[in-house]
Amino acid sequence: MAVQTLTGRGSDDLIFANDFEAVETADVPFARRVLERLTYGATPDKVASFNALGADDGQRLAAWLDSQLAPETIDDGVCQQRLASAGYTTLAKTIPQLWADHVRGGQSRSQPASETTAARVLRSVCSRRQLYERMVEFWHDHFSVYGWDFTIQALFSHYDGQVIRPNALGNFRTMLEAVAASPAMLYYLDNQSSKAGAFNENFARELLELHTMGVEAYFPTNNPDDVPVDGEGLKVGYADWDVYEAARAFTGWTVADDHWEFPDQPEYDTGEFIYWADWHDISGKFFLGGFITPNQPALADGRIVLDRLASHPATARHVCRKLAVRFISDSPPDSLVESAADIFRAQWEAPDQIAQVVRHLLESPPAFDEASGKRRRPYDQVIAMLRKTDADVVPINLGDWNPWGEFLYRLRQTGHGPFRWRTPDGFPDNSEAWASTSVLGQTWRLLSRLPQLEDAAENQILPVLDLTRAALPPAERTPERIVDLWLDRVLGYAPQDFRRRDLIDFMRQNGASSQVLDLDANPPYGSWNGNDLSQHYNGVRLNAMVSLVFTLPEAHLR
């Protein structure tokens, strides 16, 4: 893979490169492997806490998973208090409240999506329930909805707060129905208008192709007899016929949106999910090789389809492979996917089914035997920078041009702005998809900008200078010690020596690597106050050097 130069200084170019294959990862500490993979960034205190959980790596991982897979037992009061004090008003609103205020009323339609985005950033940075937040992100990608659609944005806080978040470590079948009946998904995939005799296949197709069995189980035929059966007598995949039958099963699943065919009554204009029997196709159906008899009770046709999908081996393999790709590697072992799928199917009715599958995957030998080779996606990368620098994240008033408004604007430029993937397949989850010059360039631009952001009182959002001062006594503030401090804080291990050497050269400029740098007399951006001009830009170089550490190939891996 070609090496790209981010910053150049003649023959001593800084190589912060898209050369990930050259990164040496054998010596990455186990705690770092776990926490970089399963959280939004390992910090020194979290590494120390992890290492205190047991006598060996296996004990520590098991204890950490015991806690993280039961997020309700984790005291997250600090983060919850920050959310409560942030001034968000839409996160706890019900669908009727959102509909009345942001669809029918005069309040901003985008406010629920905007506040849900702000809450995601805050939780990603400060929540102690890190694996849970990772799983929430996973399911938003799996059941992807474009949150900024004109209609959906007004209801999006409900989709996040009442559909995805309550089910992230629970039962897949329960979540599947919650998604199918959510107004956000009904609008996104057009099922709110699907009627008997004129069904819309969009939702049904994505339900099979993306949400459950996967495109790998698709047989391009309209004859269900062309799809073979497995040893259990189950169809091994689905055909177009099954898509159409599923679409018929979900006719009448719609939204109380004052449609002209609904009664002119307030309860039919609330934005809530309703089953409108007049629109439902009551005739019999033949789905995945089994009959659904006609004239079923309300919702029964759709629920039978969901039951068959949630318990199907193809669904188990598809979902488990995606989980393994997210948390282990872009090419997880087939044997691990199969063993996880066995648990997924055996526990398909268990309330903690997803947590059981996640535990199996993460306690398997392949999980952390070596670095995954996966690259952080842009959102992961910038959140890691915020976490590792103790950033003060309180993104209030996101409609204004403040530091956090700028942050989210620049994050969108990377292609990974929260809830902004327009197609239903969700943000890509393979390293190659995020390796383009455009993505990396925009990500690096944001990483270089973050240390410069200031709050209203002109305090740095990222307290890089304060952290450096606190960690190193004045006599130890040499380029070597400063660089080593930040390499340890960001990576937790030594990168390739030439990268360290280049960082030291950048920090020392024309001085000696052992020269003590004045970090007290000058503000971070070097407003000259009459001191030695050679010390004038120490704060500037410090912030730039820390940004460069975050652009290292090692810092991009998780």
* In contact, 323 and 300? CB cutoff 8 Å: no
Is the distance from CB of 150 to CB of 239 less than 8 angstroms? no
**pLDDT score of 178:** 98
Best CA proximity match to 344, nearest among 335, 355, 331: 355
Burial class (CB in 10 A: 0-12, 13-18, 19+), 443: buried
| Size of the chain in residues | 558
**Residues facing 292 on adjacent strands:** 285
Q: Residue ranges of the alpha helices (H) in 189-231?
A: 202-206
Regions of the chain short of the pLDDT cut 70: 1-26, 371-372, 394-403, 455-459, 521-536
Query: What is the Cα–Cα distance from 5 to 172, expressed in whole angstroms?
Result: 45
Distances 30 to 49, 50, 223, 361 between C-alpha atoms, Å: 13, 10, 51, 16
pLDDT computed for residue 11 by the predictor: 32
For residue 119, give every residue at least 6 positions away whose Cβ sits within 8 Å of its Cβ, in sequence order, or none.
83, 86, 88, 91, 160
Query: 369 φ, ψ to 5°?
Result: -60, -30
In contact, 493 and 27? CB cutoff 8 Å: yes
Q: Where does residue 517 rank: exposed (0-12), middle (13-18), buried (19+ CB within 10 A)? A: buried
Helix, strand or coil for residue 74?
coil
Residue 535: per-residue pLDDT: 53
Q: Which residues pair with 239 in a beta bridge?
A: 219
Q: What pLDDT, on the 0 to 100 scale, is given for residue 352?
A: 98
Helices and strands, counts by H and E, the chain: 24, 6
pLDDT given at position 277: 97
Grouping H, G, I as helix, E, B as strand and the rest as coil, residue 500 is helix
Centre a 10 Å sphere on the Cβ of residue 366 and count the other Cβ atoms it contains: 15
Q: Where are the domains of the chain?
A: 464-556
Q: What is the pLDDT of residues 291-329, one digit of tens each?
A: 999 999 999 999 999 999 999 999 999 999 999 999 999
- Taking the C-alpha atoms of residue 137 and residue 168, their distance in angstroms, rounded to an integer, is 9
Sign of CA dihedral 351, 352, 357, 360: negative
Residue 408 sits at the vertex; the CA angle it makes with 95 and 462, to the nearest 5 degrees, is 125
